[in-house]
Amino acid sequence: MNYPNGIKKNIINNTINYKNRGMTLEEDLNITNNYYLENNIAYIYKKPTPIKVVKAIFENNNRVIKEAYYSEPSTTDYNGIYKGNYIDYEAKETKNKTSFPLSNIHHHQIKHINNIYNEKGICFLIIRFTTLDKTFLLPAKDFLNFINLEKRKSIPLDYIEKYGYLIKNNYIKRVDYLEIVDKVWRL
């Protein structure tokens, strides 16, 4: 069986996505962001995964890491620049059908989203419900409101449908979230 890139990682994370033509949200976003870059629309890129190196040695003049761990992310996955504005988002998939589990977002990431929001950056979550094949943009403001007001461990789909925006599937741009950014942030 031939797995496209990224699928394997998702199996490890317990979030398998066979829908949406076998593409993970990450792959769709890579295609979308490449499209934005090539067409001079925006420059938005994925940050490196934070890794804590415990042991590194020299081997044939190369530094080889022999022991390291994935650290808890302290920022979001993606950021960049759109029409001169700072833009920043976290992208998550869930197999759940009725809610988005908040265990997907770490404490430091919430702080990061809050910092961006305070400094007036464009910030949001992209949440894909893989089983429903629906992808939403939820603005930071509405995400932070939920976190601050509710003590629940997941955001109900109802809330996301009410305050978020469904991102249209698009063959070329895949997940054209900037169309929604234009509307919400009036750019």
Residues that bind its own copies (CB under 8 A): 12, 37, 40, 42-43, 45, 47-51, 53, 62-71, 75, 79-82, 84-88, 112, 115-116, 118-121
Q: Write out the two tokens for 96.
A: 């759940």
* Least distance between its own copies and beta carbon 110 (Å): 14
Strands (E), 36-113: 42-46, 51-59, 62-70, 78-82, 85-94, 99-101
Q: Which is nearer to its own copies, 39 or 170 (CB)?
A: 39
Q: Which is nearer to its own copies, 75 or 130 (CB)?
A: 75
* Least distance between its own copies and beta carbon 64 (Å): 6
Q: Which is nearer to its own copies, 4 or 50 (CB)?
A: 50
- The CB-side HSE value for 56 (13 A sphere, CA atoms) comes to 10
Q: Which is nearer to its own copies, 134 or 141 (CB)?
A: 141
